[in-house]
Structure 1
Amino acid sequence: MATGARLAAAGADAMPAEVQDESAFPPLPVFFAFIMMAFGMFMAILDIQIVSASLGQIQAGLAASADEISWVQTSYLVAEVVMIPLSGFLSRALSIRWLFVFSCAGFTLASLLCALSTSIGEMIAARALQGFVGGAMIPTVYAASFLMFGRKRQTGVTVTVSFIVTLAPTLGPALGGWITSVLSWHWLFLINIIPGILISFGVATLVKLDAPNLPLLKKIDLLGLVALAATCGGAVFVLEEGARYQWFEDRTVLTMACVALCAALLLWWRVTTAEEPIVSFRPLGNLNFLGGSLMGAVFGIGLYGLVYLYPLYLARIAGLSSGQIGNTVFVTGLFMALGAPIAGWVSQRIDVRVMACIGFLLLATSTWMTHYIDIEWRFNELVLPQALRGLGIMCCIVSVSVMSFGTLPNPLIKDATGLFTLFRNVGGAIGIAIINTIVLERFNHHYSRLGEATNPGRAEIVERYDMMTGLAAARGMPDPEGFALRALANEVNRQALVMSYADAFWVLSLLFVAFSVVPLFLKKPGTFADAQEVH
């Protein structure tokens, strides 16, 4: 307890003078600087998903193969997940201010390189650079919010940051599809240039939070850094590529899994023995932060996994364009915007543990409703599930953030924000891997069962076949019988695919229900201004 008190006092001493009086609103330049940092974070998160709706156009423009184009996404995610935990050490060495400035400026430069890419190799390298340097913006904004606004105002700030964190990946596919259809895929990256320059100069000028500790760079654990990169990068690679290549049946996936496992053991050794560890796991000693981070990982599945699954269904089954898909999934973003002020108001009036339970149950209800999906579902059928998902997302992210950080002392915040973001992003990667695995496995099952049912001995199959043959003959097609067989096979394929999507929604609903009880086992955090002891 005494140690916790000393840490809390040290954290208070480290705060800039202008935020020591938490009853007053921060100076206007400080508030404006935070808005700029938040917008920079929005750009970094948006770039994860904004490309997803336009991969086909990028593939055509760069003459890339189907396997190569997937690395436009994978390279970004692998590089980003390495920087996120590293940001804690770098923010202590460089300060939050300069780490954010270097991150935003590097992200802007990498965006320009992406737009100027003329080959798939150049694009992959530029996207990796973009993900690595941009990855520091997300955790530094979380940390800056504590130092700029203090803990008494943290709930309101958390609502704002949480809304940005969740809105960006929701709007990404819609915005990306619109930009590509109106302009070209190059503008997916060029739109970052001017805001990135303005934000970099603005934050460098206005933000004065903590002082850099440059001698800390001389103590950097290079072996630990290599282990961190191999652990995080290897794990994300396995999660991103595993389902496509039948997991460990593929030698590359198996090799990367072994590398990640060995690197994780090396990283743990360096964290426990190095004079200045490259990443600190001390925040995980706080039960609320550990539980909140695990819930954040499951929440990441609901955020990134469903952002992936909905457009997948709308493109493959409904056959909608990227613009139409954007209009459909925009419902979630709309209800997130409506739910943000409600979530902030509710979080200050009820136990946030109850609020977290409600959020996960809303997500479970949304996915449970969607597990009845069929090939006819379009905008109208998806409105209510998406509305519940939007409200559930806001309830979850706000309450989970309050539970995670509400009892942490200030000196642990910089490392904790990186770990919290890492858990959420890795959770998203796990969610997409789970979805892909379920879809692949269950598709084969359903296709086999439907194939058995689609036999020429059934009267309704013969009737459908004759009708398609007659239709093809009436249109003057050269091979009416072949057309009818292909049409039947395509129908079986669509039905099997939509049934596999339904199975994925069902599994996710069970997962959300299971984690809805986790908050009940955590300590009631109260507000951000409560006791600062390390528990």
Structure 2
Amino acid sequence: MSPIAHLTQGQKVFAFASMCLGMFIALLDIQIVSASLRDIGGGLSAGADDTAWVQTSYLIAEIVVIPLSGWLSRVFSTRWLFAVSAAGFTLTSLLCGLAWDIQSMIVFRALQGFLGGSMIPMVFTTAFVFFEGKNRVVAAATIGALASLAPTLGPTLGGWITDHYSWHWLFFINLIPGAFVTIAVPILVKIDEADFSLLKVGDWLGIALIAAFLGCLEYTLEEGPRWNWMQDATIRTTAWITAISGVLFVWRGLTAEHPVVDLRALKDRNFALGCFFSFVTGIGLFATIYLTPLFLGRVEGYSALQIGKAVFSTGVFQILTIPIYSMLANRVDLRWLLMIGLALFAASMFEFTPITHDWSATELLFPQALRGMGQQLAVPPTVTLTLGGLLPSKLKQASGLFNLMRNLGGAIGIAACATILNDRTNLHFYRMAEHLTPANEAMNNLLPDPADTENYTAALHSLWQLTFREAQTLTYSDAFLSIMVCFVIATVMVPLMRKVQPPKGPSADAH
């Protein structure tokens, strides 16, 4: 008898909703601090470089544990791993809010990311165990909406909380939902049993390799743009560790009898393409959330709350698109919806490219509306097309790899955009500066008489600031254009996916 046969449909929905709440707060906490790092640094007497680790430590820990969650859930069972993760996430959230210095904050954030990250893939697995047919499409749409909405709303919610209360409440808001999830999930989510015998045959070498590979990769991507990549000794070291451990991890994943991450699943064309689309949507989700607040803060001088309000429209339009997607998902081939979603995201990035220094929430509204609609039409179909055709026995490890690709895309996208902002700003500045010579009549009319040394120097400084601002603005346009190219490539690759049919085989008993 199936372990979920005794559950009513209402109980399944409630159990699934409880897990979705855990996934949502875990994803929300990736970006909830992004608009408030300056306030956190001020409260903990930390510099900008140290404060950046409040976000980096969470990302590194989360990206390491996500691919391990499939194996961990088989060892401890889905419900108990989820419950322990939710309890630990809640406790570390409390500790983050009570942090007394930047070092303690970084440690608590790393623990928070590790515990929160393990909840994310299990929601995907449970959805395909609990639901079938049209209900499965709705469940996938819900997961996709939450997975893209949580990071989008993070800066908005974080800015509002920091402005009205204090940065401590960025973490305290997790306490009540975290406690609820800790209690609700073990009561209702009984889809499998623990198998501690797997500890004896665990792929410990694979675990060590993936931890070294993903941990060093995330560190290299996060810190590389700041320290000029290979010119820094630490970055060179972590890059070498990433390369060596990455090659060994791939070898282990393809040859081991029971690998911690079974890369052989990538032989399935739909799964391989789905992981690629997950990677590209990760670039779009996280890189644009990185770029837009940065532009509004650096170029426009917006506060955390103003930034939050300006980017809020993306989430609004995504929510408005949910009913449209739910209506179309059971009537239209999901590949068409995926293609439309990716194309809308590409169009959104194209609409960002004419960006100027005086853009505000008004000018950002249309491109962000396209992005919100694109997110909702792209992410849920990717989930269903990638995981919907897999046997339940393969889902746990597959969902971990699928979610890893989204976060990995985000990490690489942010690092690439940070590098573009650094290199292209200098390039645009020097190109504009080449025209600011005594032969430029318009510039001469703008500047006062050189004999008036004080005013002339002040005018030159203003001219430098103006030039640098315009160089920065052009660079943001370059970054959005690069993201657009990724989505154009992904859009034309969608027809390569096969239409998904539910797998014929054992259901929840396979767990």
TM bin, normalised by shorter chain, reads over 0.9
Q: Which amino acid aligns with 1:241?
A: E
Q: Distance in 2 between matches of 1:465 and 1:524?
A: 65
CA drift of 1:27 comes to 3.4
1:202/1:406 CA distance change after superposition, 3 Å: closer
Residue 218 of structure 2: aligned partner: 236
Residue 88 of structure 1: aligned partner: 70
Q: Is the 8 A contact 1:357 1:519 kept in 2?
A: yes
Could you tell which deviates more after superposition, 333-342 or 505-514? 505-514
Residue 355 of structure 1: aligned partner: 337
* 2:246 aligns with one of 264, 281, 306: 264
SS at 1:396 equivalent: helix
* 1:487 aligns with one of 433, 451, 462: 462
Confirm or deny that 1:517 pairs with 2:492.
yes
Residue 505 of structure 1: aligned partner: 480
Residue 443 of structure 1: aligned partner: 425
CA RMSD of superposed structures (Å): 2.0
Confirm or deny that 1:465 pairs with 2:440.
no
Q: Distance in 1 between matches of 2:416 and 2:196?
A: 42
Q: Is the 8 A contact 1:15 1:147 kept in 2?
A: no
Residue 134 of structure 1: aligned partner: 116
Q: Is the 8 A contact 1:336 1:391 kept in 2?
A: yes
Q: Distance in 1 between matches of 2:294 and 2:26?
A: 23
Q: Which amino acid aligns with 1:16?
A: I
Q: Distance in 2 between matches of 1:240 and 1:15?
A: 43
Q: Distance in 1 between matches of 2:196 and 2:414?
A: 39
SS at 2:434 equivalent: helix
Residue 8 of structure 1: aligned partner: none
CA drift of 1:274 comes to 4.1
Deviations 1:491-517 (A, max 9, x none): 111000000101111121122111101
Q: Distance in 2 between matches of 1:250 and 1:230?
A: 19
Q: Is the 8 A contact 2:30 2:59 kept in 1?
A: yes
Q: Distance in 2 between matches of 1:344 and 1:232?
A: 35
CA drift of 1:530 comes to 5.6
Q: Distance in 2 between matches of 1:201 and 1:507?
A: 45
Aligned residues: 506
Residue 315 of structure 2: aligned partner: 333
1:293/1:80 CA distance change after superposition, 3 Å: same
SS at 2:35 equivalent: helix
Confirm or deny that 1:16 pairs with 2:4.
yes
CA drift of 1:440 comes to 1.4
- Structure 2: 5+ residue runs without aligned partners? 507-511
Q: Distance in 2 between matches of 1:112 and 1:140?
A: 24
SS at 1:45 equivalent: helix
Could you tell which deviates more after superposition, 108-117 or 479-488? 479-488
Confirm or deny that 1:69 pairs with 2:51.
yes
1:179/1:148 CA distance change after superposition, 3 Å: same
1:350/1:387 CA distance change after superposition, 3 Å: same
Query: TM-score of the superposition, structure 1-length normalised?
Result: 0.91
Q: Is the 8 A contact 2:3 2:190 kept in 1?
A: no
Confirm or deny that 1:40 pairs with 2:15.
no
Residue 98 of structure 1: aligned partner: 80
SS at 1:374 equivalent: coil
Q: Which amino acid aligns with 1:483?
A: A
Residue 375 of structure 2: aligned partner: 393
Q: Distance in 2 between matches of 1:230 and 1:151?
A: 40
Confirm or deny that 1:189 pairs with 2:174.
no
Q: Which amino acid aligns with 2:278?
A: G
Q: Distance in 2 between matches of 1:511 and 1:51?
A: 27
Could you tell which deviates more after superposition, 332-341 or 278-287? 278-287
CA drift of 1:71 comes to 1.0
Q: How does 1:356-395 map to 2 (within 5 A)?
A: 356-395=338-377
SS at 1:466 equivalent: coil
Q: Distance in 2 between matches of 1:255 and 1:151?
A: 49
Q: Is the 8 A contact 2:68 2:400 kept in 1?
A: yes
Q: Is the 8 A contact 1:407 1:531 kept in 2?
A: no
CA drift of 1:421 comes to 0.5
Deviations 1:353-402 (A, max 9, x none): 12211111111111111101111111121111111111111111022112
Q: Distance in 2 between matches of 1:365 and 1:274?
A: 43
* 2:202 aligns with one of 206, 216, 220: 220
Q: How does 1:304-343 map to 2 (within 5 A)?
A: 304-343=286-325
Q: Which amino acid aligns with 1:246?
A: N
Q: Is the 8 A contact 1:174 1:329 kept in 2?
A: yes
